């Protein structure tokens, strides 16, 4: 008996070494089924504008109700999803966004940007918001409303494809070239109508002028005015400061003037973020 234990231990160690070696050689991917189910739920719900029932959600992500029920219970307990008690419909909360915004570079940027954004809004009477890239989308991480009662604003957490927003195309124009090539290649695969040549021309124009002025692809009658925020401090940052512009009788300021003030604000934020 006493002789078998060392032999058994040696066999286990040998087997472990073989497994480790095989994993390194073949790049074996270890799976975590429960975690993958939870991520499937979060990724699906985060891209949707309305809530889903357990049955609908199971059908959409290709799982059974039994597979995801406990996942939903835990996600609800941890406040990643919320359930309407009357309809039993689930939707994602903004907890993941709040966690993401705790990353030092985003927290620092929103902190230094806030007073500058408030001054821009007070001086121009136009709202503005701060957006960063998240994969092939933009996500709004901060906003300041207009002091007037009329204006267009977007909520924090708002997402749209990069190519569909002024913020996204402005970010695209100033992001590292290899990242931009990847985004453009993905966009071309996902949408055959994407005119990459026209987009490349627009990118060059944005880089030349230092800002973007373009009619919104999301809302009729609205213009996207965007300027880049480029930080070169402890961590590289490329973001966009955007003012949704509508022509108002109560505020005759031109698009060009708003763009000039927005670009100045974005440069000041860039300077402060780079100094951190």
Structure tokens at 240: 């966009």
Residue 79 structural domain: 33-93
Residue 10 lies in a domain: no
Co-location of 109 and 88 in the same domain: no
Residue 111 lies in a domain: yes
Co-location of 111 and 130 in the same domain: yes
Residue 20 lies in a domain: no
Co-location of 214 and 239 in the same domain: yes
Residue 151 lies in a domain: yes
**Pair 75, 38: CB distance under 8 Å:** yes
Co-location of 73 and 107 in the same domain: no
Co-location of 67 and 173 in the same domain: no
Co-location of 78 and 132 in the same domain: no
Co-location of 65 and 166 in the same domain: no
Tell me the mean pLDDT per 10 residues along the chain, length 276.
45 43 50 86 82 92 91 90 91 76 73 95 96 86 90 86 92 88 74 69 93 94 95 75 92 94 96 86
Predicted pLDDT of residue 108: 78
What are the C-alpha distances in Å from 136 to residues 13, 171, 224? 44, 11, 19
Q: Quick one: angle between helices 33-46 and 54-61, nearest 10?
A: 100
Co-location of 86 and 206 in the same domain: no
Predicted pLDDT of residue 127: 96
User: Residue for token digits 């290649």?
Assistant: 185
Predicted pLDDT of residue 9: 41
Burial of 63 (0-12, 13-18, 19+ CB in 10 A): middle
Predicted pLDDT of residue 176: 86
Residue 28 lies in a domain: no
Co-location of 139 and 169 in the same domain: yes
Co-location of 132 and 269 in the same domain: yes
Co-location of 156 and 219 in the same domain: yes
Q: Count of domains in the chain?
A: 2
- CATH label of the domain that carries residue 46: 1.10.10.10
- Which domain-ending residue is among 45, 76, 93? 93
Predicted pLDDT of residue 83: 92
Co-location of 37 and 119 in the same domain: no
**Pair 166, 214: CB distance under 8 Å:** yes
């Amino acid at each position: 008996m006493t002789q078998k234990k060392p032999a058994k231990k040696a066999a286990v160690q040998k087997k472990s070494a073989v497994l480790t070696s095989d994993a390194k050689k073949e790049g074996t991917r270890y799976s975590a089924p429960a975690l993958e189910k939870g991520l499937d739920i979060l990724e699906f719900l985060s891209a949707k504008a309305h809530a889903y029932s357990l049955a609908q959600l199971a059908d959409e992500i290709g799982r059974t109700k039994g597979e995801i029920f406990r996942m939903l219970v835990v996600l609800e307990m941890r406040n990643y999803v919320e359930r309407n008690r009357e309809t039993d419909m689930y939707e994602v909360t903004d907890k993941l966004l709040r966690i993401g915004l705790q990353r030092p570079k985003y927290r620092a940027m929103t902190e230094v940007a806030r007073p500058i954004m408030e001054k821009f809004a007070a001086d121009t009477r136009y709202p503005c918001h701060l957006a960063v890239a998240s994969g092939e989308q933009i996500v709004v991480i901060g906003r300041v409303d207009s002091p007037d009662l009329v204006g267009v604003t977007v909520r924090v957490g708002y997402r749209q494809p990069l190519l569909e927003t002024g913020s996204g195309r402005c970010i695209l124009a100033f992001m590292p070239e290899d990242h931009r090539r990847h985004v453009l290649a993905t966009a071309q695969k996902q949408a055959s109508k994407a005119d990459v040549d026209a987009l490349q021309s627009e990118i060059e124009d944005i880089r030349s002028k230092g800002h973007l002025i373009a009619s919104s692809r999301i809302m009729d009658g609205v213009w996207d005015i965007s300027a880049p925020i480029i930080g070169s401090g402890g961590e590289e940052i490329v973001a966009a400061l955007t003012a949704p512009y509508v022509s108002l009788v109560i505020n005759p300021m031109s698009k060009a003037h708003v763009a000039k003030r927005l670009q100045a604000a974005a440069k000041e934020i860039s300077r402060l973020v780079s100094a951190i």
